[in-house]
A and B are shown apart, each in its own frame.
Chain A
Amino acid sequence: MEFFQDLVTTLNFILQGLWVTIGVTVVALTIGLLFGVVTAMLRVYGNAFLKQIATVYSVIVRAVPVIVIIFILYFVIARFVNLSPFWAGSLALGFASGAYQTEIFRGAFQSVPPGQMVAARAIGMSQMQAIQSIILPQAARLALPGWGNEATLVLKDSTLVFVVGVPEILRRAQQVSARTLEPFVAYAAALLLYLALTLLTTQILQWLERRYRLQM
């Protein structure tokens, strides 16, 4: 019984970090989505120069641990632009996620049969128009399952923003553990919250997938 009481008290304390975690995840996913879609487009349809830039971004960022990117963005770039830890951490996480999302969307773009682009151009659409109204809607549907996976990864990577002082769920659990010397209760509470968040995310994405599935 005492265990459950401790767990409830701990949950109450850690819950204050819940909104931080959700905020970081939503901002990072949005930024990552923008970066991902644009760079994937450049990688597939861009000219040689743009293709090179997009590839370098995707290769380098995926080769570097996310925590290093967060650290560098906060301490080096934030010297010139005054960012709060929350924004610096979320933007860095989004910048990193963008590289992974690039690959998700590149795969999706390439899965749309090339004939569609040829056909769209043949009826007089510009390349931009063709991407916008023919390729992107189909690619988005194909990208959804992979993107859902990335969303849960970013949710869990949000634990990394504490390196610049953003008190999210895991840090709050560490604070409880340091105070009570009962790491099990503290981390069990964090586990429950992450589990709830991940299940919720998965449900939403499944609903989206059902909603946009091709009706045969």
Chain B
Amino acid sequence: MKKLGLLISVLAMLLLALSACTTVPQASTPAPGGEAATSGEAAASGEAAASGETAAAGGKLAEIKAAGKIVVGTSADYAPYESIDENGNFVGFDMDLIRAVGEKLGVEVEIVDMPFDSLIAAVQQGKIDAVIAAMQATAERDQQVDFTIPYRMTKDAFVAAGDSTLVIEQPEDAAGYRIGAQTGTVQEGWIQKNLVETGLTPADQVFSYERADQAALDVASGRIDLLLMDAEPSIALAEETGLKILLITELTAEGGKSIAIPDGATDLKAELDRIIQELIDDGTVLKIQEANGLP
């Protein structure tokens, strides 16, 4: 009987905890402000504690402007997008970009380092105002948060052996050659859809690999002619394994990297979309990209 009582209390507590979790999004109240934010402790600002739901009422942008700063989360372990230099400064493409955005927005930018997995939850709970972490706006993430327009399109690379004489000027030029890609990637999907289903390449000429470096070895040994993969890691990989990159293109890629903001913060999204478009148009993004050695 005693055991049963304990079991029942445990279950009751679990139920309570669970119901608390599920009711939180509805029952949100803006927490009082006044939290001293020190960069070392990566404190969330008081204003940031207000939830996404209050932002939906049209206050998120005004809130950020009133606070005079935007708190942006990132996961600083993904150079050249975001990392920390030996003096403890946040550096990289995303960091330069978000500072440029902050300048246009007329507010200070406070960057907070978190594990990548915690970022979406943190922006949902209002712990941070936005996320910039080379993050792609996937359908699953889009259900949790909102995304700005992409500030950088994903690019793919066609890689061939160092002594290859192939010429690839557009993705369709790969038709008919033995081609490899990583299993389950966007690139593999593109090959299936655009080369195999259209009849340009026979299905038995397409090879799929667990990892990109395994595919690279097969390219080097001549077992396949081409490898289609993410452009950024391809540069280091090609250098390491003596391969050459024939083409870097956006045409095979889907979507790009966006800034994540709280769900329903339409005013903030409109403003950030405008600023990002401006930065792309005036060449700032290109400049930042070159400064950080990105293709």
| Residues of chain A at the chain B interface (Cβ within 8 Å) | 9, 13, 16, 20, 52-53, 55-56, 59-60, 71-72, 74-76, 78-82, 84-86, 162-167, 171, 174-175, 177-179
Contact = CB atoms under 8 A, between A and B. Distances in A.
B118 A175 contact: no
Interface stretch (B73-81, B155-163, B178-186, B265-273): B73-81
**Counting chain A CB atoms within 10 Å of each CB, which of B6, B17, B20, B84 scores highest?**
B84
A56 B113 contact: no
B41 A76 contact: no
Nearest to A84: B43
Given A79-B125, A80-B29, A20 B10 contact: no
B249 to A, nearest CB: 28
B10 A164 contact: no
B137 interface: no
A43 B72 CA distance: 45
Contacts of B85: 179
Given A13-B88, A165-B113, A175-B76, A76 B24 contact: yes
**Counting chain B CB atoms within 10 Å of each CB, which of A59, A86, A162, A178 scores highest?**
A178
Contacts of A178: 76-79, 83-84
Main secondary structure of the interface of B (DSSP, over half): loop
Contacts of B84: 175, 178-179
Contacts of A85: 41-44, 127
Contact of B41 (A52, A53, A60, A84): A84
Contacts of B31: 79-82
B55 to A, nearest CB: 14
Contacts of B17: 72
A72 B24 CA distance: 12
A72 to B, nearest CB: 8
B5 to A, nearest CB: 7
A76 B9 contact: no
B24 A52 contact: no
A79 B24 contact: yes
B121 A75 contact: yes
Nearest to A53: B9
Interface in B46-102: 46, 49, 51, 73, 76-79, 83-86, 88
B45 to A, nearest CB: 9
A79 B48 CA distance: 11
Nearest to B6: A55
Contacts of A175: 76-77, 83-84, 113
B78 A52 contact: no
B122 interface: yes
A11 to B, nearest CB: 12
A86 B41 contact: yes
Contact of B118 (A20, A60, A164): A164
Contacts of A20: 40-41
10 contacts: A20-B40, A52-B5, A52-B6, A52-B9, A56-B9, A79-B28, A84-B44, A85-B42, A167-B41, A179-B85
A49 B280 CA distance: 65
Given A59-B6, A82-B31, A162 B115 contact: yes
Interface in B8-45: 9-10, 13-14, 17, 20-21, 24, 28-29, 31-33, 35, 40-44
B184 to A, nearest CB: 25
A56 B41 CA distance: 33
Nearest to A56: B9
